Amino acid sequence: MELVTPGQAFEQSYRDYIVELGDEERYPFPLDFEHQDFPTLLARLDNFAKGINLPAGYVPSSTLWLVDRGEILGVTNIRHTLNDAIAHCGGHIGLSIRPSKRGLGLSKVLMAKSIAFLQQRQVNEVHIHCYKDNQASGRTIIACGGRLDSEIEVGDKCVQRYLIRL
């Protein structure tokens, strides 16, 4: 199992992943990007990683795929830096696991690899945020060393803010 940069070789697996998501809210946000023109999607993801043509309020971020034998099992989006708004709510890492592969411990693998990516980039304090009612997400963060720092209200929901010191 490895973390790979999005590439043409995974087009069919990506399309299957999107079909599996069905009506589920797409998370992290690049899963919402138009993907019918696959090379354009790849270029857009590459631009985000390079900080090119970012919408207002966005910071550079890498989207990486957790892959096993050519199949995309999960998607992570890792922000290289934070601005004040994202440090308040958003954090460094957003990830999801393909619906048919959930409950197998894969989010912990993907989270650990995402944290290692940040460590390689000399980030020494990782911020990870999740909705309090998302138990699987909270447990993933705690299993990967997250310490609950604070809770904030966002709309009518409670967001838990975790920190990991590297």
Ligand X SMILES: CC(C)(COP(=O)(O)OP(=O)(O)OC[C@H]1O[C@@H](n2cnc3c(N)ncnc32)[C@H](O)[C@@H]1OP(=O)(O)O)[C@@H](O)C(=O)NCCC(=O)NCCS
What does residue 25 show for φ and ψ, rounded to 5 degrees?
Answer: -60, 130
**How far apart, in whole angstroms, are the C-alpha atoms of residue 86 and residue 1?**
30
Minimum Å gap between C-beta 58 and ligand X is 18
Q: Return the range that interacts with ligand X (CB under 6 A); candidates 12-20, 60-68, 136-144, 154-162.
A: 136-144
* 165: CB partners within 8 A, 6+ apart: 124, 125
75 is a site residue for ligand X (CB under 6 A): no
Residue type, 141: I
Pairing of strands 157-165, 147-154: antiparallel
Minimum Å gap between C-beta 149 and ligand X is 15
**How far apart, in whole angstroms, are the C-alpha atoms of residue 53 and residue 56?**
9
Minimum Å gap between C-beta 157 and ligand X is 12
Report how many residues bind ligand X under the rule CB under 6 A: 19
Residues 82-111 that bind ligand X (CB under 6 A): 95-97, 102-108
Residues near ligand X (CB under 6 A):
27, 95-97, 102-108, 130, 134-137, 139-140, 143
